[in-house]
Amino acid sequence: MPYCVRCGAKLPEDEEARFCPNCGAPLPQEVRRDIAKKRERELLHVAPLRRRLILASFIFLLCILATCFGTLTRIEEGEAQAIVSDFNEIEKIIQKAGIQLIFGNNMMYCLAMFIPFVGPAGGFYVLYSTGKVLAALSHVQGYNPLFLFLMVMACPHAWLEYISYSLAISESIWLSFFIIKYRYRGLRVEIINAVKCISLCAILLLAGAIIEMALITSVSKIAPI
């Protein structure tokens, strides 16, 4: 607890304060800096790891549901054909360009999901659209859409991607929360966590891209497309 150097009164823990509320003496720079540092340390405890994990797990479920919802969407013949032909084009490009393209693409989506306020909506839309691709594929190829969805979820890279997207969306929510509640100071504290999260997502998505490429190559060896 800081004290006024002139009158010895207790100073408020408010970094905006410039003067002692008791005697009006200006607060020295280092006192104000100490108060600011203390407030920042307090902010770090607002969102402990346990709360972050709970939110991320909840978002993970919502991400799966978004794709599931897309998979079960009723889809017209024409739209299904269009989505499938786009999908086949992308598959061809992926087979040529490989890991960089898969990683680059997923990382781009993931980074967009980190953006405060708008990231979650965009993220859920992307995951819903992924489900729609599955709906279109199953429509054209005559599979049960849920079967196709389970096939995708049986692949390890899908899990790595969904974990990354859940981390990104929940970090966007934390960033938004800290910005609303503590403004610039909150952003400064939370940005460190965001950077850690982005690095973790990059590692997970890179591992996912390597696995996905390995799966695509082995499948195309067995059944050349």
Binding site for Zn ion (CB under 5 A): 4, 6-7, 9, 20, 22-23, 25
* Burial class, 193, CB count within 10 angstroms (exposed 0-12 / middle 13-18 / buried 19+): middle
SS3 149: helix
Whose Cβ is closer to Zn ion: residue 20's or residue 168's? 20
Whose Cβ is closer to Zn ion: residue 22's or residue 144's? 22
Whose Cβ is closer to Zn ion: residue 8's or residue 156's? 8
Cα–Cα distance for residue pair 188/213, rounded to 1 Å: 38
Minimum CB separation from Zn ion for residue 107, in Å?
Answer: 53
Cα–Cα distance for residue pair 62/35, rounded to 1 Å: 40
Minimum CB separation from Zn ion for residue 16, in Å?
Answer: 17
Minimum CB separation from Zn ion for residue 5, in Å?
Answer: 8
Cα–Cα distance for residue pair 130/137, rounded to 1 Å: 11
SS3 19: strand
Minimum CB separation from Zn ion for residue 185, in Å?
Answer: 25
Whose Cβ is closer to Zn ion: residue 9's or residue 150's? 9
